[in-house]
Amino acid sequence: MALFQAGEEGVTSDLLPLIMVVASEGRIEEEIFLTSFLWEEAKHVEFFRRWLDEVVGAHQDLGHYLTPSYRQLFLAELPKSLNALKTDQSTAAQIRASVTYNMIIEGVLAETGYHGFRESLESQRAAARPAPGHPAVVARRKSSHSIRSVSPSNRPDQRNARRLAGHERPDE
């Protein structure tokens, strides 16, 4: 989670130079895509910070979880390739920034992280819960549908936190 939090902060704070370049060149479709992307990344920062604060109570410095290779990619290569666009808007510089951001950071590292999340959640579900169709599951679903409309634990932030913690399936 510390790696995700740091990564979300990195991609949020470093994307702006690329947006400014595509905007200055009148590439409106790419500007729309990247500004939407930036908004999403900002929401991810907020979500993971809230999860660390409110679900696990991790208020301490988590920097010791960042490995040397992670630091090189997120704290050196990512800002360097994006910030280079402030003085060099050439096609080569844009490709370097986009490959670093979209192909390496998002396409390789974030996707690998998502895969790890999915594997972890699936193994927790398999170990802790009966299979779908089991009477206990069916009964719980039926009762939860009627309880949900009045339950304060149905707030979206609480439900997301419970899903991340593996206590609730997305379709419940």
Binding site for Fe ion (CB under 5 A): 8, 41, 44
- Distances in whole angstroms, Cα of residue 62 to Cα of each of 5, 79, 97, 160: 9, 20, 27, 22
CB of 55 to Fe ion, least distance (A): 18
CB of 27 to Fe ion, least distance (A): 22
Query: Is residue 97 a contact partner of residue 17, using CB atoms and an 8 Å limit?
Result: yes
CB-nearer residue toward Fe ion: 44 or 96: 44
- Distances in whole angstroms, Cα of residue 172 to Cα of each of 13, 47, 93, 169: 35, 21, 46, 5
Residue nearest to Fe ion (CB): 44
CB of 8 to Fe ion, least distance (A): 5
CA distance 51 to 20: 31
CB-nearer residue toward Fe ion: 110 or 137: 110
CB of 40 to Fe ion, least distance (A): 6
CB-nearer residue toward Fe ion: 31 or 41: 41
CB-nearer residue toward Fe ion: 42 or 137: 42
Which structure tokens are listed for 155? 């707030």
